[in-house]
Amino acid sequence: MSEHTDRIEANLNSEYEAGFITDIESESLPPGLDEGTVRAISARKGEPEWLLDWRLEAFKHWQTMEEPDWAHVKYEKIDFQALSYFSAPKSQADGPKSLDEVDPELLRTYEKLGIPLHEQKMLAGVVAVDVVFDSVSIHTTFKANLAEAGVIFSSFSEAVKEHPELIKKYLGSVVPARDNYYACLNSAVFSDGSFVFIPKGVTCPMELSTYFRINALNTGQFERTLIVAEEGASVSYLEGCTAPMRDEYQLHAAVVELVALDDAKIKYSTVQNWYPGDADGKGGVYNFVTKRGICKGVNSHISWTQVETGSAVTWKYPSVILKGDNSVGEFYSVALTRGRQQADTGTKMIHLGKNTKSTIIAKGISAVNSENIYRGLVRIAPTAAGARNYTQCDSLLIGDTCGAHTFPYIENKQNSAVIEHEATTSKVSDEQLFLCQQRGIDAEKAVSMIVNGFCKDVFKELPMEFAVEAGKLLEISLEGSVG
């Protein structure tokens, strides 16, 4: 291996910035999973009977399911009995009434992460944030402003209490409880998450955002996000994720459901930076997530954008069911793996309606000893006359001990459909680095420029406030600069 690669790899093996542990008293359920656990979570949240029944049914079904093994990833089997399924900061036991009641240690945690909860400090008032710490939602900002516009943005638990009719109507309508192993587990034991409802004709006046953080040891995080945009409504939503450095694996099995009615538009962006484990592959987050949206109405539009730099193992396929005629689904993804990270990620575009359109742009960057997999499905049903798909998958390799794989599946049952697929694999070469260096640009900066250039098509899809952040995150992941 060349000197160049060695040096870059030294940088790539750098520290994880968000890896600190918050020293806070937590109340957790003891490890273990049985019907009693499910009942305890539901009781802890004071849930109505119908929701408990929904959970119990999911749990019953989950017990009959097998953990899937088709993904191109290797990891230690999860001992579901060794995990705790609920953890909440103790001072939050009764729920904070206002920010003043939130444990200052928690506030400091979020400040360290660059997420101030005091509204006046927040990005000049353009973003509202819901914050989820371990199993509970800590605080949602700008609720009053949003309510004026008729927008509901709250923690999932709160929504169950205040808008049970909406939850009952849409929960599990896109990702059914029995959908897959992890989604089913989530349905049984989910603890909290975010709920967004944009009524008919309303354009959400600000970006909505949720920050998730796993803190407690041996705790699984199982949140649910549900976003509903009624006729002609539109919303842009962003989630960010971090976790402390722990030697043990942490399980994150979330479910996200999006529903877009006629002419509605939902843009969902993720910047995922869970702890990836150390250079030898010890610790890190298992990120087994089910994300799916349905373009239920005509002319509706769902767009997923993800920048994935964290997690030890990622297993995630944000998908769109294009049911309404003329609806549009998009997937823009940057997945960066380094160290011993493994990512098996991609999307599914299910075309059911006429003249439905989907675009997939996936950029995988692998470095050091990591494995980066794109797996995607484009399915055109017989009903989807005039459907179109364009897919572009590009892989960039840094060094010569990493891997990139592409598994595109295309199923077409409609003669009038047009499907395009392009794929490329390239390498950050010694020649490119030397060219940059010979022009006075150091190797770290050169790699960061090359990688950012490679990701340009995806970054431009992120909300502006976060495009810069994503570029910076990649740079940090690559450079290992501290602070």
Partner 1 sequence: MLKVENLCAGIEDKSILQGLNFTVNAGEVHAIMGPNGAGKSTFSYVLGGRPGYEVTDGTATLDGVDLLDMEPEERAQAGVFLAFQYPVEVPGVSNMEFLKASVESVYAARGWDVPSTVAFMKLAREACAKVELPLEFLKRGVNEGFSGGERKRNEILQMLLLQPKLCLLDETDSGLDIDALQVVAEGVNSLRSPDRGIVIVTHYQRLLDYIKPDFVHVLAGGKIVKSGGPELALELEEKGYGWIEGVA
Query: Whole-angstrom distance between the N-terminal and C-terminal Cα of the chain?
Result: 30
As measured in angstroms, the least distance from the Cβ of 6 to partner 1 is: 9
By CB under 8 A, the residues from 230 to 249 that bind partner 1 are none
Structure tokens, 315:
């297993």
| Interface with partner 1 (CB under 8 A), residue from 105, 456, 460, 468 | 456
- Cβ-proximal residues to 353 (8 Å cutoff; 6+ apart), any chain: 295, 298, 322, 323, 324, 325, 326, 327, 383, 384
Question: Three-class SS string for 271-317?
Answer: EECCCCCCCCCCCEEEEEEEEEEEECCCCCEEEEEEEECCCCEEEEC
As measured in angstroms, the least distance from the Cβ of 376 to partner 1 is: 22
As measured in angstroms, the least distance from the Cβ of 366 to partner 1 is: 17
As measured in angstroms, the least distance from the Cβ of 437 to partner 1 is: 4
Q: Which is nearer to partner 1, 383 or 432 (CB)?
A: 432
Return the CA Rg of the chain: 22
Q: Which is nearer to partner 1, 169 or 456 (CB)?
A: 456
Beta-bridge mates of residue 424: 394
Q: Which is nearer to partner 1, 377 or 436 (CB)?
A: 436
Question: Do 122 and 129 meet the contact criterion of CB atoms below 8 Å apart?
Answer: yes
As measured in angstroms, the least distance from the Cβ of 395 to partner 1 is: 13
| Interface with partner 1 (CB under 8 A), residue from 3, 49, 69, 148 | 3
Q: Which is nearer to partner 1, 67 or 431 (CB)?
A: 431
Q: Which is nearer to partner 1, 9 or 257 (CB)?
A: 9
As measured in angstroms, the least distance from the Cβ of 438 to partner 1 is: 5
Q: How far apart are alpha carbons 263 and 300 in whole angstroms?
A: 4
Q: 218 to each of 85, 214, 215, 462, how far by Cα in Å?
A: 9, 10, 9, 33
Number of residues that bind partner 1 (CB under 8 A): 26
Neighbours of 482 (CB within 10 A): 8
Return the SS3 of 166.
Answer: helix
As measured in angstroms, the least distance from the Cβ of 455 to partner 1 is: 8
Q: Which is nearer to partner 1, 63 or 426 (CB)?
A: 426
The one-letter amino acid code at 12 reads L
Q: How far apart are alpha carbons 334 and 152 in whole angstroms?
A: 30
- Cβ-proximal residues to 435 (8 Å cutoff; 6+ apart), any chain: none
Q: Which is nearer to partner 1, 407 or 434 (CB)?
A: 434
- State the Cα angle at 170 between 168 and 175, rounded to 5°: 120
Beta-bridge mates of residue 371: 342, 403
- Cβ-proximal residues to 14 (8 Å cutoff; 6+ apart), any chain: 479, 480, 481
- Residue 4 sits in the site that holds partner 1 (CB under 8 A): yes
By CB under 8 A, the residues from 415 to 454 that bind partner 1 are 426, 429-432, 434-443, 445, 449-450, 452-454
As measured in angstroms, the least distance from the Cβ of 268 to partner 1 is: 25
Q: Which is nearer to partner 1, 126 or 423 (CB)?
A: 423
Q: Which is nearer to partner 1, 68 or 453 (CB)?
A: 453
**Interface with partner 1 (CB under 8 A):** 2-4, 426, 429-432, 434-443, 445, 449-450, 452-456
